A and B are shown apart, each in its own frame.
Chain A
Amino acid sequence: MYTSPEALLAILGMAVATIAIKVSGLLLADRLPRQGFAAAWLRHIPGAVLAALVAPALATGNLAEVAAALVTGGTFLLFRNLFLAMAAGVATVFLVRMLVGA
């Protein structure tokens, strides 16, 4: 159990930068109007961020990932259960990789 002043400074700096951004988002939201273009923009952010999180992983994926994405989506649409959808996706990736030997 040890550390150095340099490491401590780097970690504290990273923490302050991270917390400052998280707090700023909340505080800046107040300056944005509740309706009109900016409000519509805020409403569309969650879906767009999630789509941006998922798309590259699927675009760079191979057979296993694409098959698992279809299984995940299908399972979720059928059962509306997040954990079930996630487990089905993970199991599909595992099985397809084993079968294909990738």
Chain B
Amino acid sequence: MSTLLRTSPQDQFFAGARACVPVAVSVAAYGLVWGVLARGAGLSPLEVVLMSGLVFAGSAQFVALDQWNQVPALLPIGPLILAAFIVNLRYLLLTATLRPLFPERRLGWRSLSMYLVTDENWAMTVAAMARGEGSIAFLMGGGALAFCSWMLTNLVGYGLGSAIDDPSRWGLDFAFTATFLALLLGMWKGRQDIVPWLVAGLAAILTSKVIGGSWHILVGGIVGSLAGATLEWRRSRVHQS
């Protein structure tokens, strides 16, 4: 808490951006790929800028490319919106954990700051909160960096067109997994984490095998955290009686 009181919002903003530099690399790798694929799917440069700027959600944008149609009359508008809604449902879980960053009771327009929340700056901010740090400015700094690197690499990828094949040739497809694995290890608080993490992982593996898409994140996150909460709740009841 002491560092939070001493540093200005500007310092926090840049600290958040700095903290997100490692994950911005994986954002950039995916951004390049999305740009290349968007050109293949027939989006115009204006549509690329609009979608990346307004929707700003990687997995939902990848799914949208699958559904896109160059002919306006054939564009599946309803399914596109529904898919974005379902793929992004997991953000309910993410932004709910950021509530302690706002000291005020009524949020109003400030809640729109959640627009800049991505997996990357969310994870960095939650890790900072666990250390007693983290702030809205910190979150926004990471979000601004993720936004810039996403938009920039989308356009570069679009420009490169089909010149780039998939980033797996350079092992860059693993940057995402490696980053989240290291973040997960950094969240280790003790043996009480074993069960929820195992349950979340197994549920996610099962879900990705059965349903596919990005449902495994939502299912694993809910089932795993419920398992952890149930264990903790039962343990506290045993202590009371």
Contact = CB atoms under 8 A, between A and B. Distances in A.
Interface in A8-53: 8-15, 17-19, 21-30, 32, 36-38, 40-53
Interface residues of B, number: 98
- Using C-beta atoms within 8 Å of the partner chain, give the interface range for chain A: 35 or more
B30 to A, nearest CB: 13
Nearest to A59: B205
Given A6-B77, A46-B123, A51-B220, A89 B178 contact: yes
Contacts, number: 298
A18 B46 contact: no
Interface of B: 21-23, 25-26, 43-47, 50-51, 54-57, 60, 64, 72-73, 75-77, 80-81, 84-85, 88-99, 102, 105, 107, 111-112, 114-115, 117, 119, 123, 126, 168, 170-187, 193, 196-205, 208, 216-230, 232-233
B219 A52 contact: yes
A91 B91 contact: no
Given A23-B111, A23-B114, A90-B172, A51 B197 contact: yes
A77 interface: yes
A91 B230 CA distance: 40
Given A10-B81, A40-B233, A49-B200, A93 B93 contact: no
A27 to B, nearest CB: 6
B111 A51 contact: no
Contacts of B72: 4-7
Nearest to B203: A52
